[in-house]
Amino acid sequence: MASTRQETVVVDGLALAQDIRQDLAKAVERHVSTGRRAPCLAVVLVGDDPASASYIKGKRRACARIGMDSIERKLPATATEREVLDVVEELNASEGVDGILVQLPLPDGVRPNTIAEAIGPDKDIDGLTPINAGRLLLGEPGHRACTPLGIMKILEHHEIPIEGAHAVVIGRSAIVGKPISLLLQQANATVTMCHSRTKQLAAVCRNADILVAAVGVPRLVQPDWVKPGAAVIDVGVSIIDGEWVGDVDTEGVRGIARIVTPHRRGVGPMTITMLLCNTLDAYEAHFGA
């Protein structure tokens, strides 16, 4: 019997991100040309984790490239929770700041949820405050978490049907798994959310028209977990012997999936781009579109 091999599109998340960033740059230019200040993202870095410092650098560079301002508040690893809260409160009150991002992880003794709860919902461009998480749950407008938003843009760009599709999400974090499950459900997918205790995970995944892996287990998703023609979104990032590895055996699913995001130039560039989009949205909510 002749096997039918699916033409698999490997998503170019960087190219899509650059297209969106060009539009953002035009919007920023339009605002600035009217005499307004540029939108501004404030990033808070606590401690000296080199990966966090590099992420912050990437985010600030992305702002600069589209004409957006950014400021950085750096605190030592010994900073107390009160000191971090003071910085967040100062940024909440600042007229010159539209979006606030507190880079995770935070040092021991500084509780991420306490810090997230302190960010003003209008400046919560990561969509992590209970107010914005609640708005998402209720289907009300609000800032949405950046990685899930980026995934929705990728699916839209590749014209993946969502309504009526069976979407399987592996991972239930507050930053990816839960919000992407809700966004897919609101777009009328039938969603199954899986996690570390899910039984028969491979069998559940095999039913997915849209499969999102946000786990952090290298190459968890094997070719025989993927339904022919499925859209496969790989969010996971692990570093093995200095190499970046995703949650999906990308090479293996070629010829099976309709689209697959690579672990580099896939979801990552879209996440940063959605941070810029959310910052512009916060600015326009204040100054007008």
Q: Which residues form the catalytic set?
A: 59, 103, 126
Q: State the nearest-atom distance from the C-beta of 190 to ligand NAD, in Å.
A: 19
Q: Which is nearer to ligand NAD, 38 or 204 (CB)?
A: 204
Q: Between residues 104 and 187, which has the closer beta carbon with respect to ligand NAD?
A: 104
Positive or negative, the CA dihedral 216, 13, 194, 258 is: negative
Diameter over CA atoms, the chain:
68
Sheet holding 40-46, edge to edge: 69-75, 40-46, 99-102
Give the nearest distance from C-beta 122 to ligand NAD in angstroms: 23
Output the smallest distance, CB 175 to ligand NAD, in A.
5
Q: Give the position of tokens 């979407």.
A: 167
Taking CA atoms, 269 is separated from 6, 62, 81, 85, 204, in Å, by: 26, 10, 31, 29, 29
Of all residues in the shown chain, the one whose CB is closest to ligand NAD is 216
- 195: β partners: none
Nearer to ligand NAD, 87 or 259 (CB): 259
Q: Are 168 and 208 in contact (CB under 8 A)?
A: yes
The helix (run of H) or strand (run of E) holding residue 108 is none
Nearer of residues 39 and 177 to ligand NAD, judged by Cβ: 177
**Nearest-approach distance from CB 154 to ligand NAD, in angstroms:** 12
What is the token pair recorded at 112? 């991420």
Strands 99-102, 9-10: pairing kind: unpaired
Distance CA 45, CA 271 (A): 18
Using CB under 6 A, list all residues that contact ligand NAD: 147, 170-173, 175-177, 194-196, 198, 201, 214-217, 235-238, 267-268, 271
Residues composing the chain: 289
Residue closer to ligand NAD (CB basis): 87 or 269: 269
User: 6 vs 238, which CB is nearer to ligand NAD?
Assistant: 238
Best CA proximity match to 229, nearest among 253, 262, 251: 253
Identify the bridge partners of residue 233 per DSSP, sorted by sequence position.
212
Report yes or no: 110 and 79 within 8 Å, Cβ to Cβ. Answer: yes
Closest approach of ligand NAD to the CB of residue 99, in Å: 17
- Least Å distance, CB 93 to ligand NAD, is 29
